[in-house]
Amino acid sequence: MNKVLRKRLLRDLRANIGRYLALFLLFVMGIFLVISIVGSSEMIIQGTENQKSKNRVEDGQFTVFLPLCDDDLSALTTDGTQIEPMFSLDLKADDHSTLRLFRNRNSIDLIQLDDGVLAAQDGEAVIEKGYAEAHAIRIGSTVTAGGISFRITGIGSVPDYDMCIAKFSDTAVERTAFGLLFVTGPQYDAVKEHADLNAEEYTYAYRLGNTTDDALKEKIKQIKIDPEQIENRYFRETIDDLLKDRRDMENGINDLKDGAEDLAEGLDELRSHNQDLHDAADALFAQYLAQANQTLASQKIVLTEENYVDTLEALIAATHSSDLAALKSSLDELAEFRQGIYDYTDGAASAADGSAELADGVGELQDNMDELLDEVFDMEIENLTSFVKAEDNIRIAAAAGDVIMDKNAGLVAGIIILALFAYVLSVFVVHQIEQEQSVIGALYALGVKKKDLMLHYITMPTLVAFCAAVVGAVLGFAFGVESQAQDSYAYFSLPVFDVIYPPYLVIYALVLPPLISAIVNAIVINQKLSRTALSLMKNEQSAGSYRQFSLKTKSFPTLFAIRQLVRESRSAMAMMAGMFVSIMVIIMGLDCYVMCNAVKRDTINDTKYAYQYLYKYPDKTPPQDGEAAYIKTLSTDCMGYTLDVTVIGIDSDNPYFDAKPEKGKNKAVINSSLVERFGYQIGDRVTFSDYAADTEYSFTVTGISQYSVGFTIFMDIDSMRELFGQEDDYFNVVYSDKALDIDEGRLYSVTTKDDIARSASVFVKLMFSLVATLIAAGAVIFCVVMYLMMGVMIDRAASGISLIKIFGYRPKEIRSLYLNGNLLIVAVGALVSVPLAKALMDAIYPSFICNVPCSMKLNFPWQLYVILFAAILLIYFVINRLLIGKINRISPAEILKNRE
Amino acid sequence: MYLQVKDVKKSYGKDTSYVQVLKGISTGLERGQMCVIQGTSGSGKSTLLNCIGGLDTMDSGSIIVDGKEIFGLKPAALSDYRRDNLGFIFQFYNLVPNLTVRENIQICQHIAEDPLDMDELLETLGLTEHQNKFPAQLSGGQQQRCAIARALIKNPKLLLCDEPTGALDSKTSRDILILLEAINAKYGTTMLIVTHNNSIKNMVHKVIIIKDGLVKKEYLNETRTPAAELEDL
């Protein structure tokens, strides 16, 4: 019997070839899309993993002020850790784009060439493929950067710039604005000689040995450098400013010591002349005494130092001579003078001794003060300026991270679509069973078992699903995967990956469609085949076959249309489900389009400044016409992804941001992007992380700024300085509406409004193909499901249509009875499905962009809803028109065949 | 004559599968007459009924209903012909299963220019209490009465009945025939009944016997037996 039944399969196929073909194509499209999306995601995920292994991707990287010395490198690599310098220079190309120059890599983050060879000699370079593509650069082309010409010998990519952005804070890849160049070591050194040294970045990549990232980081942090070694004058300025107080104190102590020493030396010098003074005073006294003796020689009187006082007093008393009194007075003054000299020299000697002690004391003070200053002002600083683990590096494996959500969404969406298609298929099978129920009853009566018939009726949909799955899978792997991956290739810097065939995906593609089809059909068919042979043979309509309810309407067409709708509820449900799924797909595309356009539009509108100068070495005072601000990057978690949150400290009168942050270290105004993504509101407590410092910062939201660029919070600049321990006048970014004259060496970057506009436009271009694909796929599903379901409704109503044709109904009246009710389904379905699908898609949309810190404005303009609704109705009317022919082909005599 | 059939020929297929079902049938029927067409399976009686009903086209010949030729009419005109003139009753009722009795009747009421009163008809056919039931909730006889009501609601000039009792038991068949007889009497509806049942010929005004695509015999029944007295139904 089974053999006989099998023969019917081909006849059934031939009889319904159009219908099965449409369903076949639907399944093919569904599997093709799943394979394309999931397969390309897997290709990129696994390809990235393979590339990471093959090209020895880093475990992390760190940047230092000064290149590590050999001893430091030896100390860091004793545990088997590999470290390779990835020093770079940013060079300006002729079109003002930036090319980051590296040496060829030896052991980490190796260059994967798509074409050509590595640079082997001076003047040669390998260029990053994205930049090459955007600038139409080929092997043999010449690229000029930093005033130096390079002949391109190779085009490729590196795993540490999978997302080729200049700064970690950049939100979008701009192939036209930034790329990489790889040259030989000597060539790099030669370029460095010509370039501004300030621009060189001392970054090292590492691959861990028997240690951990944190342990390595701690080791690197132990490496101190003397700031004096750093030649960058702006860095020196900064350091000098930081150490000004120490230097003042050091200089004071030094001056004090020098003075003490000078004093000691002077006094010592003075003391060295004491004896001369003594001798001179003695000689002067002796000379005067000798002159007095000469005068008194006639009186036989000899005056001495010891007797002159008594002798002269005796003589004066005897003679009352005024001359003798004058002589005595002179000798007394000389003696007193001599004693004064003696006293002075004694004092000088003591002072010399004291000053020597003072000098010694000041010397000791200086020594102690140096130790004290070393404690208070650390003259050595950590060489480490940044440490980024590979897992935190958004440039690494970014494409793989980007498509993970695509993969998951594709797998889930695939199941939903396949279930829908299987249900659509089951509607046909049920229709077929209903048509054949008397035959089925007869077969039951002849002994055919239910399971044989189940198998028979499940076989065709299962075969259709399986064949479609095979074709869809083959087409998907052959064309879809590569095609779908173009979006990733167009954005990320990836080598060309080989298509892979993940076993789970092959099983998913080949097994799931027939399996879902078999299950759905088995469930639906089982009920239909559960009736008795007699009931089937009599073609009985059980009382419960149709929902019985009263209708009050007096309009017969309305009444009939409602009854018809209820009768065809299964098809109507399939049509509604198809409409909902297809509208979901279309709305996903429209959401994508609307969001990308909103990001572009709002970013441009919200960027009020013309120039943003980001300082690497901040100045003491902002330049004239510049609005100083303090900017710092924190992080937040979004569905497992770490996203940057920019904190901007501004003055209350900053004209470039529509935010008035209150004073307070824990108060902040958040931007609309954060509100859209996380639903924060005023009064909420929000927390962001500084992973580098292992610190979390919490803020109370005091306001919401309609500023849509990235994730941003605004603080009062003084409060922010206080929070992050900066000086009262610190700033590191300046905004301006005109170009400012700021030394380039002091700056980290200059961003113009044009740059921002260009960057914001990237997503619109990138997502266009995806948007088009989604809308086209949704429209196809919508059209096919609607056509098939409306078609099957007509098929099921063929006898009814035939009947009323016999009664003399005119075509227009028939259409009004059998087709116009569908207008109600479609119109109501659209009115329900569009907002419901929109709400659902908006709810899950954040998961699609969880790795992108951007605003998420998904609001459709009302015109878009009107267009969507009008398009749905238009498609309905077109399909309606197509189905009129089907109605016209139903013969009035059709009813006469029902003779049993 | 209300219905005139002249030399109607109808064939199906080509070459080896060619079959001429009607080979030149000619007959007629007066207004208000009840007529039975009898014949064996394949004799062509249903094909003739379909041609008269405008459901099938004939190869040649002429069918004039109430003075109007239907041969050569286009589908739209045929549709209008059926709409304005005919009522149909089928062996298996062909009720629309998801419509109630009343709604099934409304199908034809909706397109009738001068329909009969629905409630009166329901009463006449004993369907008043069943008017809100669905076909699956009715017995075979009730379903056929519903089908008759549906056919009558637009007050057709010609009622075409294709084995109206073919699916019914004897008692129910009698009830239906009594009903048809009463309708003929009450409304003066001309009726053409295709049947295998040999007893029915006794209640009608005219009998046409067809064999191999030709009218083998036709005669007027001078001694009609009321449906209630028919035997061997």
Mean pLDDT of the residues in chain B: 90
Element containing residue A52 per DSSP (H, E): helix A40-54
Instruction: Give the list of residues 6+ apart from residue A391 with CB closer than 8 angstroms, or none.
Output: none
User: Which residue among A563, A813, A893 sits closest to B103, beta carbon to beta carbon?
Assistant: A563
| C-alpha–C-alpha distance, residues A432 and A456, integer Å | 12
For residue A94, what is the DSSP state? T
Residues of A in contact with B82 (CB under 8 A): 806-808, 892
Q: What chain A residue is nearest to B150 in terms of C-alpha separation? A: A807
Can you state the angle between helices A753-796 and A862-889, rounded to 10 degrees? 30
- Domain residues of chain B, as ranges? 30-46+74-229
Q: Beta-strand (E) ranges in A309-415? A: 381-382, 384-389
Q: Which residues of chain A have pLDDT under 70?
A: 1-4, 195-199, 242, 376-379, 538-549, 894-900
| C-alpha–C-alpha distance, residues A245 and A243, integer Å | 6
- Residue-wise pLDDT for A486-521, tens only, equals 888 988 999 999 999 999 999 999 999 999 889 988
User: Which residue among A550, A559, A895 sits closest to B94, beta carbon to beta carbon?
Assistant: A895
User: Interior CA angle at A137 toward A131 and A138, to 5°?
Assistant: 130
Enumerate the β-bridge partners of residue A395: none
Say what the pLDDT of residue A76 is. Answer: 92
For residue A509, what is the DSSP state? H
Please answer whether residues A898 and A436 qualify as being in contact, where contact means their C-beta atoms are separated by less than 8 angstroms. Answer: no
Contact B103 A805 (CB under 8 A): no
Please answer whether residues A717 and A731 qualify as being in contact, where contact means their C-beta atoms are separated by less than 8 angstroms. Answer: yes
Residue B169: other Cβ atoms inside 10 A: 13
Residues of B in contact with A809 (CB under 8 A): 79, 83, 111
How far from A638 is each of A407, A621, A635, B71, B106, CA to CA, in Å?
18, 37, 10, 78, 63
Please answer whether residues A193 and A114 qualify as being in contact, where contact means their C-beta atoms are separated by less than 8 angstroms. Answer: no
| A701 phi, psi to nearest 5 deg | -75, 120
Please answer whether residues B24 and B61 qualify as being in contact, where contact means their C-beta atoms are separated by less than 8 angstroms. Answer: yes
Of A346, A184, A171, A31, the residue nearest A710 (C-alpha): A171
- Closest CA of chain A from B42, distance in Å: 14
Best probe of the B interface among A806, A817, A887, A900, by most B CBs < 10 A, is: A806
| A751 phi, psi to nearest 5 deg | -120, 125
Contacts for A450-454 with beta carbons within 8 Å, 24 or more apart? Answer: A450/A529, A450/A530, A452/A1, A452/A2, A452/A5, A453/A5, A453/A529, A454/A522, A454/A525, A454/A526, A454/A529
Residues of B in contact with A800 (CB under 8 A): 96
Amino acid at A883: L
- Closest CA of chain A from B36, distance in Å: 19
Contact A541 B135 (CB under 8 A): yes
Residue B19's SS3 state is: strand
Can you state the angle between helices A862-889 and A811-818, rounded to 10 degrees? 130
| C-alpha–C-alpha distance, residues A441 and A106, integer Å | 78
Say what the pLDDT of residue A547 is. Answer: 60
What is the DSSP track for B135-197? GGGS-HHHHHHHHHHHHHTT--SEEEEESTTTTS-HHHHHHHHHHHHHHHHHH--EEEEE-S-
- Residue-wise pLDDT for B111-136, tens only, equals 888 888 999 889 988 899 999 898 88
User: Which residue among B54, B91, B134 sits closest to A546, beta carbon to beta carbon?
Assistant: B134
How far from A762 is each of A161, A183, A676, CA to CA, in Å?
18, 29, 21
How far from A706 is each of A641, A645, A653, CA to CA, in Å?
24, 16, 17
Residues of B in contact with A806 (CB under 8 A): 53, 55, 82, 88
Is residue A16 packed enough to be buried (19+ CB in 10 Å), middle (13-18) or exposed (0-12)?
middle
Say what the pLDDT of residue A573 is. Answer: 84
Q: Beta-strand (E) ranges in A202-295? A: 202-207, 224-225
- Domain residues of chain A, as ranges? 32-57+418-545, 60-231, 245-378, 557-606+753-900, 620-741
Say what the pLDDT of residue A274 is. Answer: 85
| C-alpha–C-alpha distance, residues A295 and A298, integer Å | 7
Residue B26's SS3 state is: strand
Please answer whether residues A396 and A294 qualify as being in contact, where contact means their C-beta atoms are separated by less than 8 angstroms. Answer: no
Contact A541 B88 (CB under 8 A): no
Contact A557 B103 (CB under 8 A): no
- The confidence band for B210, taking pLDDT boundaries of 50, 70 and 90, is very high
Say what the pLDDT of residue B124 is. Answer: 83
| C-alpha–C-alpha distance, residues A129 and A113, integer Å | 9
Our separate counts of H helices and E strands in chain A read 27, 22
| This prediction's pTM | 0.73
Residues of B in contact with A811 (CB under 8 A): 76
Q: What chain A residue is nearest to B131 in terms of C-alpha separation? A: A550
- Residue-wise pLDDT for B36-64, tens only, equals 999 988 899 889 998 999 888 899 999 99
Say what the pLDDT of residue A233 is. Answer: 72
Residues of B in contact with A564 (CB under 8 A): 98
Please answer whether residues A717 and A629 qualify as being in contact, where contact means their C-beta atoms are separated by less than 8 angstroms. Answer: yes
Residues of B in contact with A799 (CB under 8 A): 94
| C-alpha–C-alpha distance, residues A388 and A693, integer Å | 12
Say what the pLDDT of residue A197 is. Answer: 47
| C-alpha–C-alpha distance, residues B141 and A449, integer Å | 34
User: Which residue among A559, A567, A806 sits closest to B82, beta carbon to beta carbon?
Assistant: A806
- Residue-wise pLDDT for B183-193, tens only, equals 899 888 999 99
Element containing residue A433 per DSSP (H, E): helix A398-435
| C-alpha–C-alpha distance, residues A88 and A181, integer Å | 10
Contact A546 B136 (CB under 8 A): yes
Token pair, residue B40, equals 């064996």
How would CATH label the architecture of B30-46+74-229?
3-Layer(aba) Sandwich (3.40)
